[in-house]
Copies of this chain bind each other. A is one copy, B any other.
């Protein structure tokens, strides 16, 4: 056995390097590292010493080859900003405590070919399972091909009802927002939201309408003001609402960015928020909600909890037993200064 490692500094050592350094065959090195009985103790010691000298890290590989969990999960996303997927990633890791599970995030950017490539890369690294995070809450097709590990769909459900999908209850979120406005004594409630092509827009509107109907009320204007998800639409929509319905006393916005625009227009018009008109957003995006004037009350989708549930369901599936079922999770109200009882 030579004493100097002979692996070029610029690549990871392989089992072949270990075998060479130990002066044994690759098969013997493999058996020694995997703890098999057919290898003499002295040979095993030599192989392990060589592995140590080379910083060869066989554990996860060896465990994967021998079966059993490797403590790694792949997270496949198309969320270009990471705004939804990073909290879900953190939640999935936290479901097991630090140092128990690593989540590897790959960004498919909404591209099926890229997605298939990342899935192969993750599977060939022996991940225990996959979490697929959609770029919107719209249902998405299941991963293509035969996937030999469990898959949990998070945020966006799979279109296949046999798959496990852990999603936000956007209908419930819309209901929660309007129930808060009703609790503040509001009766003339408008709903300004994003593009109707998004399930998130339709679902939140449905929950809002249901909560209003339960209170014997209807949405101001009879339907949502659909537009885009940004501040520019929020500013324009607030002008329209105030002009068409001067009696408006609350506006539920489908995103914090829309709400931010609504707040700016109401400020320009000299309308008192929260007393004359209360405004509530959706997303609880701190960069927007915590620095608006006034600071914005919002619905938080609890994405970290969504990730934690997805992680637990994934490991339940890996461990066998009863197959987990799809679940929807409610959001929660985060009070700031843009909603208050009518005075």
Chain A interfacial positions (CB closer than 8 Å to B): 7-8, 10-17, 26-27, 30-31, 34, 54-61, 64-69, 71-72, 79-83, 85-86, 89-90, 93, 98-99, 102-107, 109, 111, 113-114, 117-118, 120-128, 146, 148-150, 230-232, 257, 261, 264, 287-288, 290-291, 293, 317-320
Q: Are the C-beta atoms of A231 and B291 separated by less than 8 Å? A: yes
In the complex, what distance in Å separates the CA atom of A295 from the CA atom of B283?
23
In the complex, what distance in Å separates the CA atom of A68 from the CA atom of B105?
23
Shortest CB distance A260–B (Å): 8
In the complex, what distance in Å separates the CA atom of A7 from the CA atom of B114?
28
Shortest CB distance A273–B (Å): 15
Q: Chain B contacts of A8 at CB under 8 A? A: 320
Instruction: Report which of B30, B114, B121, B150 forms a contact with A60, defined as CB distance below 8 A.
Output: B121
Q: Are the C-beta atoms of A12 and B57 separated by less than 8 Å? A: no
Q: Given known contacts A12-B127, A71-B121, A99-B114, what 11 new A-B pairs fall within 8 Å (CB)? A: A10-B149, A54-B148, A57-B124, A61-B64, A82-B85, A90-B107, A98-B114, A102-B117, A104-B122, A105-B106, A287-B288
Shortest CB distance A77–B (Å): 9
Q: Chain B contacts of A60 at CB under 8 A? A: 121, 124-125
Q: Are the C-beta atoms of A66 and B14 separated by less than 8 Å? A: yes
Q: How many copies does the complex hold?
A: 2
In the complex, what distance in Å separates the CA atom of A85 from the CA atom of B107?
11
In the complex, what distance in Å separates the CA atom of A293 from the CA atom of B128?
48
Q: Are the C-beta atoms of A148 and B291 separated by less than 8 Å? A: no
Q: Chain B contacts of A82 at CB under 8 A? A: 81-83, 85-86
**With A90-B107, A105-B105 in contact, do A10 and B150 touch (Cβ < 8 Å)?**
yes
Q: Are the C-beta atoms of A65 and B11 separated by less than 8 Å? A: no
Q: Are the C-beta atoms of B16 and A318 separated by less than 8 Å? A: no
Shortest CB distance A155–B (Å): 14
Shortest CB distance A318–B (Å): 6
Q: Are the C-beta atoms of A257 and B105 separated by less than 8 Å? A: no
**With A83-B82, A85-B82, A264-B293 in contact, do A11 and B117 touch (Cβ < 8 Å)?**
no
Q: Are the C-beta atoms of B14 and A257 separated by less than 8 Å? A: no
23 A–B pairs (Cβ distance < 8 Å), ordered by A: A12-B126, A12-B127, A14-B66, A16-B67, A26-B34, A26-B65, A27-B27, A56-B148, A59-B124, A60-B121, A60-B124, A61-B61, A61-B126, A72-B121, A72-B125, A81-B82, A82-B85, A90-B109, A102-B122, A103-B107, A230-B287, A261-B291, A287-B288
